[in-house]
Every structure is written in C-alpha cells, then in structure tokens.
Amino acid sequence: MRRVKLFFFLVAVLGLATVTACTKVISSESSLPSWHPEALPEGRADCTECHEDTVKGVLKPYASFSHSTVFIKNHRYYAGQDNRLCAVCHKPSFCNDCHANELEVKPSVMHGDRPDREMIHRGDYLSRHQIDGKIDPTSCFRCHGRTNNEQCVACHR
Amino acid sequence: MKQCVRLMMLAILGVPSVASAVDLGVDSTTLIRLEERSVPGFSKEQVYPATQFLGIDLDKLGDGNLSFHLYGWGRLDLADKSTDEGTTDADLSYAYLAYRFPQADAQVKLGRFFVYEGVAAEQVDGVSARTDLTHGFAVSLFGGAPVKLDLTGDNKGDYVVGGRLAYRLPGLLELGASALREGGITTGESTDLKDYRQLVGGDIWLAPFKIMEIRGHSNYNTATSGFAEHSYLLQVYPVRPLTIVAEYNDYRLKDYFATTNLRSLFNPDRDETLRSYGGSITYVVAKPLEVTADYKRINYHRADRGNTNRFGGEVRLTLADRKVRTGLSYHRADSAQSANSYHEVRGYVMYRTTKYSASIDAIGHFYDEKVLGARDTDYEVLGSLGYHILENLAISGDLGYGRNPWYDKELRGVLRLTYNFNYSSKGAAK
C-alpha cells in the first residue's frame, strides 16, 4: 500500500514538473490558422500579392512560398520543413494525387482537364520509364522504392 | 483491405460522440475510364474501370480544435480487367483525428496519416505530435505501424518511429535534425540487410541575403553506415522577374536503396554512385509570360549506363484574368547510350471559367533508337470539355488518342464527375 502511495506521489510530482517545464519550454505564440481565411484565385498562388515580411511561426519570408515554377519543381525541400504551412491551403488529398502508398491512376489521367498543372508521367510513360529509370533510378525511387509500386510488380518481380 | 475497413469504421463511429456544431467538407470524384487497347497480333481489350475517390473533413469537433479527415478510393472493373489483380480494389489513404492547439502550432494526430518530416516520408497507422518551443526551437515525433502494400509488403517493418528537432532564426536560418527507425523488417532470402531501417539526417534553409536562399538535406543510413543522399538547392533572385537556380545531388545507391521492397528494380547490392548537378533560369517577361531554360548533368557511375545531359526550355502564357493558360516546352535527354536519348515536345492550351472548361494537350517523344524494336516515336493528343452543372457539381470528359511502341492505337476516354460540398457553421467556408 505504501509503495502504491509512493508511486502515485512520484507520478504526481513528475506530472507537475512536466507541466511546469512545458509551460516554460513551449512557445506561447498563437498557431497558424487552420485554413486560409479567404478563397484564393485559380492558378499559381503568389503569397506576396497580399502578404509581406515573414510567415508567423514558420519564420521565413512569404516570398519563399510563392508558387513559382522553381517552387513547384522543388517542393520536396519545403514540405520536409514546413508541411504545416502547406496544410493551411492544401488538404492532404492534394498531395495524394501524386504521393500515395497505392495510387489508382496516373495523376495526369485523374486531372486530364488540367494540363496547366505540373503532373509527372504525361503521355506514354510506359515506353519512357525504362529510359528515365536507366538515366536516373533515384528519381523513381522516391515514389516507387518502398510504396506505390504495385503496378511495377506486374513486370519487375 | 480488412484492416482499412476496420480502421475507417472505427474512425467514423468515433466522430459523432465528439461532434457539436461541426464544419463538414465532402470531396467526391468519380472517374470512369474508357480505354481500347490494340496490340498487333492480339485481340483488342476494352477496359472500363470505375473509380470513386472520396474525401471527408469534419472540423470544429469537440471544443472546436478537434478535426477528422478521411480520404480513400475504390475501383470496379466494368469490362476487361484493368490490372493483373482482381476486378475490384480499394485503398484508404488516410483517416485520422487531429487536435490543433491554439498556441505553438502544436498538433496531435491519431489514425492513418502521412508524415513528411526531414528524413521521413511515411504512411503510418499511429500517432504523431509536434509543437514549437521557445527560443526558435520546434520538435515533432511520430510512431506506429508502417502501412503495407497488398502485394509488396514483404519489406516493411512492424513499427516505425521518428522525429525532427528544428532551430530557427527569423528570416535567416532553419536547421533541422531528424531520425527514423523501422524495425521488424522481413529482409527476404537474398540479402544481408539487418531487420531494421535507420536513417538520420540534417536539413537546412539559409537566406544570408534577401536575394538568396539555400535549401537542402543530407541523409545518413546508419544500418549500412553510409551517406544515402546529399541534395542542395541554391536560389538567387538578382532582380524580381529573374530566378536563377543551381542544384546538386549526390547518392550512394547501396545506402539509398538499402530497404527497397523492389530489389529486382532497385538493386542495392551494386556499390554505385549517382551525382547530378545543373540549374535553371526563369524570367518573367511580363506577369502573364514566363520563360524557363534548364540544364541537368547526370553522372551515373555504372559502366553500362553512362552520363546524360538533360536540357530544354518552357514558355508559359496566362491571359484573360487567368482564364486562358497555355504552355509550350521542348526537352532533350542526351545520353551516352543512344538507346537512352530522346526529344520531348509538349504544348497545351486551356480555357477555364466558373461555368465551362476546355483544353487540348499534345505530347510527343522522338527516340534516337526504336523502343522495343517497334517504333521510335510516340504521341498523345488529349482533349477535355467540362461543365459546372451546379456551383459544387461538375462533369467533364477527356478523349485521348495516341500511338506508341506498345500499342499501334490507344484510344482513351475519361468521364469525370466531381462534387465538393462544404458546410460551415460560421465564418468562411473551407
């Protein structure tokens, strides 16, 4: 009984210490909004049309996140550091159009009505994939090395 | 599949108990693909797969900070089989509860979700948490079971844990350190890999001047004791309409491919390296007109592959208040092996209003050698028409025609029905 009391006493002290530490350690800055408060126009968003300075919390300039051609082609660098900012405007299903464990259709087929969007594997990629894979297999691996490769298994057993 | 359904049911049944004045979002896309494939010497195939994509978002649950998110798809083949598997298939991409704290961008997720944090790009059944700390620090942690594939789940572990610690100096620097460990991996017969996957990595964002940014990361595989990847990007904006980019990537494939579940394709037993570098210049001539030229040198240190120069350019033009968007591009892959060299030409034009949409997209490839010994060119022309029946309900259809080394004729149609419902209890709709 004494041991049980001692255990609960220790848990209470540790819990109190953790809560106290957290209040000192955790930032008191308000969070980013859960969703961009205004609807954005169609096409590539340019954050600097409305925003200046740095993004609160993320602490980088808004200009860094404007959806230029460079941003879109290199968005993996941004997502690895700032995916919570991506989530202010994009639902996770937006990423799932291309990045998923198991993808049902090519992104360019699912969005055949949006030729303006950067979609990989347009046209006859069945012919081209064996060339691109020989030129640079690392570009395949990011999406098909451990996930989204059920179609690959049909031939590459 | 059963696991997916169980998880989805559990998540959905749990929601009403915490629901009050919720915001509801439903995104539905129904695709019916109509394909006729003709291979010389074989009978024609008619493939009509119908796929339903469904996303549900419930916000402002409980005290207003709790939300639930679900996305998945299911397919039924209406004619010949569209894949080598069965006539039906389904996948649950994510289904999770998220609690967002009002301060510190703190968030906890529970269920099936994706993690993109430093070295981690994982789909997990588990829990994750992140928060900003004082003095510019931030921390994130996740753990659970990696989501396996139906057919190639033989190289995924029983559990995966990881996290990232970041330090930021406002407007100047972000440094990140991340780690991941996946245990209980079935390594199969033909490998000497350990039964775990381990990665540690560092990432950086540095803006020493207003006109310059450096981004990048290095990942080290502690299971194979070698650097898997170094990838860095330098962006310079000397004047507002001009962006100059330089990139450098270095991979040691033994460490990068170590735990693939497609060993026949990504063979990590060969000790090879791949290094690529290049850059691009983008110039915005005027707001609607953008021109990009790019170059990349890929040095694949493997005797039968050799080096490749990729280069090309793209022009994008946006007119009539973004209603008309067009693009024209040319790219060349010039490889040491002529069998791996080709030209690519693409052009499109799209017209899109709140009521109608129409587009034509054409792409062609001209190979230096015949592919499959059959043909040295391929092309595809795709036309699309769409109409918004209601504000949130749209129908569109695509019709594509092409010839390529696999099919002497490929006729493809897609019928697409999209429905987006948003109910907001107060304030702006999502």
Contacts of B89 in chain A (CB under 8 A): 104
Restricting to A residues 25-44, those with a Cβ less than 8 Å away from any Cβ of B are 25-32, 34-35, 37-39, 41-43
pLDDT digit string (tens) for B390-409?
Answer: 999 999 999 999 999 888 88
Asked whether the beta carbons of residue B266 and residue A145 sit closer than 8 angstroms, the reply is yes
Burial of B233 (0-12, 13-18, 19+ CB in 10 A): buried
Mean pLDDT of B8-36: 73
CA angle A43, A45, A49 (to 5 degrees): 125
Residue B429's pLDDT band, with cuts at 50, 70 and 90, is: very low
Tell me the average pLDDT of chain A.
87
Global ipTM:
0.87
pLDDT value for B43:
75
In Å, how far is A61's CA from the nearest CA of chain B?
Answer: 6
Indicate the residue of B94, B151, B308 with minimum beta-carbon distance to A92: B94
pLDDT value for A49:
87
CB A151 within 8 A of CB B83: yes
Asked whether the beta carbons of residue A150 and residue B149 sit closer than 8 angstroms, the reply is yes
Contacts of A92 in chain B (CB under 8 A): 69, 71, 93-94, 113-114
Mean pLDDT of A28-39: 89
pLDDT digit string (tens) for A76-100?
Answer: 999 999 999 999 999 988 998 888 8
Biggest CA-to-CA distance, chain A: 74
What is the crossing angle of helices A137-144 and A125-135, to 10°? 110
Q: Can you tell me the distance from the alpha carbon of B430 to that of B426, in angstroms, rounded to the nearest whole number?
A: 11
CB pairs under 8 A between A and B: 305
- pTM value? 0.89
pLDDT value for B256:
94
- pLDDT surpasses 50 at A38: yes
pLDDT value for B190:
52
Mean pLDDT of B86-111: 94
- pLDDT surpasses 50 at B348: yes
CB atoms within 10 A of CB B303: 7
Asked whether the beta carbons of residue A77 and residue B215 sit closer than 8 angstroms, the reply is yes
Considering chain B, what percentage of its residues have pLDDT values greater than 70?
A: 91
pLDDT value for B321:
86
pLDDT value for B36:
78
Mean pLDDT of B124-139: 96
pLDDT value for B428:
43
Of A77-86, B179-188, B254-263, B354-363, give the lowest mean pLDDT range: B179-188
Residue B153's pLDDT band, with cuts at 50, 70 and 90, is: low
Residues 6 or more apart whose CB falls under 8 angstroms from that of A137 comprise B253, B257, B265, B266, B274
Residue B427's pLDDT band, with cuts at 50, 70 and 90, is: very low
Query: Cβ of A24 under 8 Å from any chain B Cβ?
Result: yes
pLDDT value for B6:
56
